[in-house]
Structure 1
């Protein structure tokens, strides 16, 4: 690395470093594991290209089938990583999705949207929207991917994600609620795990950790230079000039938060605001005591991680209650 490359323009400590010559160094989660069949659970995975013109891909996960014609709930999943690191192909997410698919007995499509800063916001949303449309193209059983044609139950479609991926899932649910989107499919539910929501005015306990708050304050301007405002409705869904929550395009929402997570209070505020917004659905929340952001991704065998996976499994498999 020459001297010009060593000059740092921007850095999110411990996550990503951008040099003045435009080169990018990702400091975490750069590993890739191949798709396979997991010997412990029988879950199979494979990689597919979903948007060829932009080389956007996804990893599909299929649980061990009770019979070859079995139809399963379908989860469209968005990974976390602050919109700028990681992918569904890392060991962390591959292992987590394998465990979740085995427990919930769902088929999952984990979308590898393109990352900032090379592809700033709104690229992640656009890639994810197009990937969702690709998934829906299998609704009549004649799409390009046999696993979806043969095994996906398009009457039980969910979206979910962690952190930035939960943010994507929320924003896609808002878009899906608009008739102009033309999704031609009713989403049954959305599960938001430790969602990345933020805002310019401090909330709850956010000020108790000034250094961590400062990092989160810098994140959205780094990701979205075209609108570097932490009250952009895409990152602050409760912003006064946003579309609100009443038009959320699904019937159920689960919000999962962690007690020590600086984003926890935003998750609670989202849950409470959705419940009183006039949205005609059912929202529930789960808080894990004593844990921090994304804890479950690093210790899948822990009891608290298992509790979270079981709660998600129940959410994906529960029948919709009647609403009068």
Structure 2
């Protein structure tokens, strides 16, 4: 595999090529290249944050990158330090592509770590189609147990407040944060001292059989068109299920008591999106359904933009980080 920068590919014409994939005759894929990556750095001269990588489960190839604001290392070690909220982050990539260390994700990591400020643990989960859903959910839930077991890690012990933790994800990661969050709500006692206070679902990736207005309106989008979205679901869902399966369309089969545990825990949920993203109708549907069911939820939906807009616009990334900061502060001070 090559790390070289590839020429732009139209996802409407060649969704496999756009994702850096080739389809094999047996239905499997070959990964042709990986997007540029950024190594972890514990260089104390870093202007924003220090980071390091730790294995979660070597047999699965899962790991995590921990980010801590550089300023957290500036204080005199002899003085007591106020620990920072912990954001457990699940990356984008349609369940099929990208990694914790994908370089463009730095555009979001940095303002989250520095603006809130917070300790961020970004989780590397197994990708589809080699590992179809629910593999990513299982890996990310396992990561929560790993955080508990490694809470004596020097960085986590000194800087992260495990009682003020949040699950966050972008795109496919937002889908993961939603599903893992519901599972966590049903077993909070087994995760102590880790205490989740809320979910941050940034442009979460959901689908369904029936097309929405935004999916039809933006069917030929150059960032995430319908052809690409359809391909990603085909590669990531369990074999034989349709797109009204709960992993893809959690709104299709809502249970009467589905959000009772989330409400009883007092979690707050943030759902964000923009109307230049063909996924926005499903994101708004989730926000409204949560609101109808009495869940404390905020929706922030911008005009214009596109899916993953924050990775190419530092001002939008900072704006998102400030919105997240407001949620974190409202939760941890109430």
What TM-score do the two structures reach when normalised by structure 1? 0.85
Secondary structure of 1:205's match? Answer: helix
Residue ranges of structure 2 left out of the alignment (5+ in a row) = 2-13
Do 2:35 and 2:102's aligned partners in 1 also have CA atoms closer than 8 Å? yes
Counterpart contact for 2:53–2:63, Cα < 8 Å:
yes
- Matches of 2:85 and 2:209 in 1, distance apart? 38
Structure 1 stretches of 5 or more lacking a match? 2-9
Give the match for residue 328 of structure 2: 316
Structure 1 residue 236: Cα displacement: 1.2
Residues 11/213 of structure 1: CA separation in 2 closer, same or farther (3 Å cut): closer
Question: Could you say which structure has the higher helix fraction?
Answer: 2
1:164 to 165, 169, 172: 172
Report deviation, 1:321: 7.4
Shift of 1:136: 2.6
Distance 1:236 1:50, change over 3 A: same
Structure 2 contact 23–30 (Cα < 8 Å) conserved: yes
Give distance in 1, aligned partners of 2:258 and 2:144.
22
Runs of 4+ off more than 6 Å: none
Q: Deviations over 1:120-177 (max 9, x none)?
A: 2111111111001111335xx5x3x221122111221111010000111000111011
Q: Distance in 2 between matches of 1:201 and 1:20?
A: 29
2:115 aligns to what?
103
Superposed, 1:49-198 pairs within 5 Å as 49-63=55-69, 64-65=71-72, 67=75, 68=77, 69-138=81-150, 141=151, 143=152, 145-179=153-187, 182-184=190-192, 185-198=194-207
- Counting matched residue pairs gives 305
Greater shift after overlay, 305-314 or 119-128?
305-314
- Is the 1:120–1:223 Cα contact (8 Å) retained in structure 2? yes
Rounded to whole Å, the distance in 2 between the matches of 1:246 and 1:18 is 43
**Cα distance, 1:48 vs structure 2:** 0.6
Q: 222, 236, 241: which one pairs with 1:228?
A: 241
Q: Over aligned residues, Cα RMSD in angstroms?
A: 2.5
The yes-or-no answer on 1:238 pairing with 2:251 is yes
Match of 1:257 among 273, 278, 285: 273
Which residue number corresponds to residue 6 of structure 1? Answer: none
Deviations 1:71-96 (A, max 9, x none): 11000000000011111101111342
2:18 corresponds to 1:14:
yes
SS of residue matched to 2:156:
helix
CA positional deviation for 1:198: 1.2
What whole-Å deviation, never above 9, does each CA across 1:265-290 have from its counterpart, x for those lacking one? 111111110011144xx210111221
Distance 1:229 1:274 in 2: 24
Residues 250 and 148 (structure 1), Cα distance of their counterparts in 2 relative to 1, 3 Å cut: farther
Contact 1:87–1:112, Cα closer than 8 Å, also in 2: yes
1:186 touches 1:250 (CA, 8 Å); kept in 2?
A: no
